[in-house]
Amino acid sequence: MSTLVRRLGIAAAVAALAVAATPAAAQELSIGYQWQRVSVDADEISSDCCTAPFGINFDISAPISPALDFVGQLDWSRWSESEIVLGTSVDASLDFTTFGAGLRWSARGNQGATPYLHGLLGATHTSIGCEVGGFDCDDVLTDDETSTTNFMFQIGGGVAVPMGGVSLIGQFDYRRIFFEGEGANSIRFVVGVRVSVR
């Protein structure tokens, strides 16, 4: 793991502690379903990698000003595929785990829906899993070949619609993941709920 990623991890941990130290009544917690599409840029060739149809997103925010919040986010999603090649089963999967922290602006003056925008910095951990004919690929691949953690930045936004004691959220984000000598673009959609933590 690079020094930059270690420093980002430490910064994210410090940020999470800062959020946790904020009075609980001021915090908001969001949880939702995540859909993610990833495309990889390598050697000047752009190619679609995968659609991760199932994922989950958590974030927690604490106010800095009436319209501005500090936000910490953790999300996970998975892509998997199975095929029969020359009579042999081939199963492959990719897990994407991302943590980040940043700022969120919310137009809280609206009576109904509250639109918001945010920007985050952090890291994405990608792990590869595969089986060929029932044999695990980890037996022939090293940890460096099956797992990597890389810097990422994310921008996006959404809308929160109050429904009783919770708010329903819909969110769209663009994420750039920086690999050594290449990179990946990700778009993701999140739908879920947001509650005040009392």
Provide DSSP, 120-154.
EEEEEEEEEEEEETTEEGGGTS-HHHHEEEEEEEE
Q: In whole numbers, what is the pLDDT of the chain averaged over residues? A: 81
Per-residue pLDDT band for 151 (boundaries 50, 70, 90) equals: very high
Residue of 75, 72, 57 whose CA lies nearest to 14: 72
Domains (range + CATH), the chain: 3-196 (2.40.160.20)
Lowest mean pLDDT among 70-74, 76-80, 83-87, 150-154: 83-87
For residue range 77-118, list pLDDT tens digits in order.
998 776 666 666 677 788 899 999 999 999 988 778 999 999
Instruction: For residue 160, give both structure tokens.
Output: 């929160």
